Structure 1
Amino acid sequence: MDKDLRRQFNKNFTPEKYQTLLDKVNTGFGKKSTFRISETPVFIPGDIRHQLKDACDTLTSYLLTDEFKKNCDSAISKIGFEVPNENLNTTFIQFDFGITIDKNGVISPKLIEMQGFPSLYCFQNLLYESYIDAYDLPRDLKPFFDGLNTESYIEYLKKIIVGESKPENVVLLEIEPEKQNTAIDFYGSHQLLGIKVLDLCDLKKDGRHLYYIENGKKIDVEKIYNRVIFDELEKRKDLVTEFDFRDEVDVEWIGHPNWFFKISKYTMPFIHHNPYIPETRFLNTISHIPNDLENYVLKPLFSFSGEGVKFNVTHQDVEQVKDPENWILQEKVHYHAGIETPNPDEPVKFEIRMMHTWEQGAPKPRLINNLIRMSKGEMIGVKYNKDKDWIGASIGLFRE
């Protein structure tokens, strides 16, 4: 990563500045973060930024092909869960890349996962502003793409999510939003966009009409900014709701639920000969289990947040899969521990999420921001980083 900026940051770092960062994050939206915030942003050098942008361009180009449209439709038939009134295109796309190093020492991004689903668009703006203010970083360091800055970024989100509607007629829909790990982003969406954060159980239905009750008054729902993850919805048999996602209703989806399945790990085996994608195959297409399973990761297709992923795969793991058509075997990538920390024996590796939006009817998606997760452990994730510092949620900064 950018060695000069890293050296300067580490030299000037103090625990007091980090506490200032946490105070800004935890008070910015009136909600404390439930996940760990890293001590540092990641300073992305120009060559890595260029590779990331190129990787995103090649992937979005595939999403425009007839081949993708044919293959993604089969994802819906496979799961047997289809929500009516699908938009022309997804509103949100995330590409998650590991920054890797090969046996020749070449550093490059490799796609770990893709999602046709929203991410922490509002929180990342708060995190950026908090890093800049807490550490007095130069303002020409930005996380945004395509000429955006803080002000134009927020206005653009309003255009995508709220549009011509009144904010009160747009709801961010989630199951028990207060209890979610991403609740801080929901608070931010309300604060920055003015929209209502609504529990799925509080969404009311009258024929094709959706509404919620606010201070004893019926408020029409015109648009749903969907944050419900279907893994959780399927597990929560205790929920009592008036609205079923398969109902025919008069509402516009901002992030239609079908795209959660259509743009996902399910898409990756169909993309061939792409230097940014590790070899990925549907498990049911593999005639012989590889002898070098230590070089692979076993993943369920339609899970979220790493649920069910097996990093240290055994023959028994593969043989015990009862529905191999719903799993992939993916070539394991080796993360580059390229971020120096105050402890020279504990450098940090990271994944970067390239966050896109796609206006309905626009010719292609737009890359607008990024999100980073840092790790000192074997893999990315909380369970690999217990009692560690300089890990957790972060953001990539670069100069245009």
Structure 2
Amino acid sequence: MIPEVRASFNSSFDESHYQALLEDMKTRFDEAAGFRISETPVFISKEAKEMIFSACDAIIEQIGKLDFYALREKYIPEDLRSDTPLEDPHFLAIDFGMCVGDNGKIVPQLIELQAFPSLFLYQNYLGAAYRKFYPAVPIDRFDYLFSELTAPAYLEKMRRVILGPQPAENVILLELFPEKQKTRIDFWATKQALGIEVVCVTRILKEGRQLFYEKDGKKVRIRRIYNRVIQDDLLQYPDLELPFRFNEDLDVNWISHPDWFNLISKSIMPRLQHEYIPTSYYLDERPGNLDLQNYVLKPLFSFAGKGVELNPTESMLAAILDKQNYILQQKVEYAPLVKCPDGSYSKVELRILYAKEDKEEHLQPVINLARMGKGKLINVSHATDATWIGSSVCYFES
């Protein structure tokens, strides 16, 4: 997207830079990442940045007009839905594919959005690591952070968002079997940066409305939960016995409330309109004359691309009983964006990450992540022998 910057990076690329980054990551976090790391960051032009944030601003404005209590009743399954106050979400992730527009130019297209925390602390490490180990990564007029945040200010910002007024000892990162999750490197980065413990949901102790965890042989009160549990994952273990229900009224602050994962997600995509938002329909409300070859079928409640059908058929749709839990989203064509040294090109999805402190009125863009791939679906967890794909970060031109 910025040919001279890409050409400079590629011409100076040395495999030793990449291996040094991987070794540093393994040393710092005591293990390699559970997903592939790309050999390169992505460089985003000022023009593309303006398009991306134009879409982000429109999305956030439209989200602010939605009745989420009514949506909670309609879209969240009863066994997952809570009756406790929602409060505001502390996080928002907006995913764009960098695509080929009608005029042949590169444009962003909304792929998905979630009011759920992403890899906030790992991405901060990765953004700094590319700069440390790659001499060709430009420092002037490019940054992976937003809102005029420096690296120290970003860490302090995330400390206030996640810990709030509580001591680190009374705040936990909650996950299901964290040591088995592909994104676990972010858990360890969060623990290192903020001093909070990473606790499996199965190891929580409950007394009345209060929750506790054990540390150094003593019971510690949990006052604030940085929630990384995706409730869909819990459904994969029908015999799993939990010490509490996510939808019960507990004396704890959720960062964010568990219902937000399902509320701001694919379930509101058909309600959003913008030139950089592909048209989508709830499956049970689709027009009768829709040409399916131009649409992708997506389940509302899924994660990491599970259940996505790139080529839905009428017979496939007819077999779906719970049509209200699916959407049809207009297909987009990912651009061959990042030129690789071997002459091939990688495609890019990028995620703009927002965060909000308890007393702040608005979500604020703070950092980003990128995923690179060469296939039809971009998913860094897929095993592959390809290179110059995987987890990355974008440096945006100022």
- TM-score by length of structure 1 reads 0.95
Equivalent AA in structure 2 for residue 20 of structure 1: A
Q: 2:215 & 2:83 partners in 1: Cα distance?
A: 27
Whether 1:21 and 2:21 are equivalent positions in the alignment is yes
Q: Distance in 1 between matches of 2:58 and 2:380?
A: 31
Matched residues in 2 for 1:170 and 1:300: separation?
Answer: 33
Distance in 2, matches of 1:359 and 1:247, equals: 24
1:1-400 alignment, distance < 5 Å: 1-65=1-65, 67-69=66-68, 72-76=71-75, 78-136=77-135, 137-140=137-140, 141-272=142-273, 274-288=274-288, 290=290, 292-344=291-343, 346-382=344-380, 386-400=384-398
Q: What is the root-mean-square deviation of aligned Cα atoms in Å?
A: 1.7
Q: Is the 8 A contact 2:164 2:357 kept in 1?
A: no
CA distance in 1, matches of 2:203, 2:382: 37
SS across alignment from 1:144: coil
| Partner Cα separation in structure 2 for residue 163 and residue 77 of structure 1 | 28
Distance 1:218 1:190 in 2: 19
Distance 1:311 1:393, change over 3 A: same
Distance 1:385 1:48 in 2: 30
SS at match of 1:317: helix
Q: How much has 1:383 moved relative to structure 2? A: 7.8
Cα distance change on mapping 1:284 and 1:11 into 2, 3 Å: same
The separation in 2 between residues aligned to 1:243 and 1:384, in whole angstroms, is: 33
Deviation digits for residues 167-215 of structure 1, max 9, x if unmatched?
1110100111000001100001100011110000111000011101112
Offset at 1:313?
1.9
Deviations 1:342-392 (A, max 9, x none): 111x11111000101123353321111111000111221258772110000
**3-state SS of 1:348 partner:** strand
Q: Deviations over 1:51-89 (max 9, x none)?
A: 111111111111221x34365334455555223543421
Do the aligned residues in 2 keep the contact of 1:378 with 1:384 (CA within 8 Å)?
no
Partners of 1:383 and 1:214 lie apart in 2 by 32
Paired with 1:221 and 1:8, the residues of 2 have a C-alpha distance of 50
Q: Within 2, Cα distance between the matches of 1:316 and 1:382?
A: 31
Partners of 2:106 and 2:385 in 1: how far apart? 28
User: C-alpha distance in 1, partners of 2:27/2:91?
Assistant: 27
- Distance between the aligned counterparts of 1:24 and 1:383, measured in 2? 21
SS of 2:334 mapped into structure 1: coil
Give structure 1 stretches of 5+ with no counterpart.
Answer: none
User: Measured at CA, do residues 264 and 75 of structure 1 come closer, stay the same or move farther in structure 2, by a change above 3 Å?
Assistant: farther
- Indicate if the aligned counterparts of 2:80 and 2:246 stay in contact, CA closer than 8 A: no
SS in 2 for 1:57: helix
Q: Residues 276 and 74 (structure 1 numbering): CA distance in 2 closer, same or farther, change over 3 Å?
A: farther
Q: Structure 1 residue 398: deviation in Å? A: 2.1
Q: What is the deviation of 1:243?
A: 1.6
List gaps (5 residues or longer) in structure 2.
none
Q: Across the two proteins, how many residue pairs are aligned to each other?
A: 396
Deviation at 1:47, TM superposition (A): 0.4
| Contact preservation (8 Å) 2:340, 2:388 | yes
Q: Show CA shifts across 1:191-241 (max 9, x none).
A: 001111000011100001110111221101000010001111112123232
CA shift, 1:125, in A, is 0.7
Could you list the per-position Cα deviations for residues 288-346 of structure 1 after superposition, in whole angstroms to 9, with x for gaps in the alignment? 263x32211000001111110001222222222111111000000011112111111x1
Q: TM-score, normalised by structure 2?
A: 0.95
Residue type at the aligned position of 1:381: N
Determine what percentage of the aligned residue pairs are the same residue: 39
Contact 1:289–1:315 under 8 Å retained in 2: no
Relative distance call for 1:36 and 1:384 in structure 2 (3 A) is closer
What letter is aligned with 2:22? L
Report the Cα distance in structure 1 between the residues aligned to 2:200 and 2:381, rounded to whole angstroms: 29
User: Contact conserved, 1:63 with 1:69, CA < 8 A, in 2?
Assistant: no
1:383–1:184 Cα change, 3 Å: closer
Structure 1: distance between partners of 2:68 and 2:117: 20
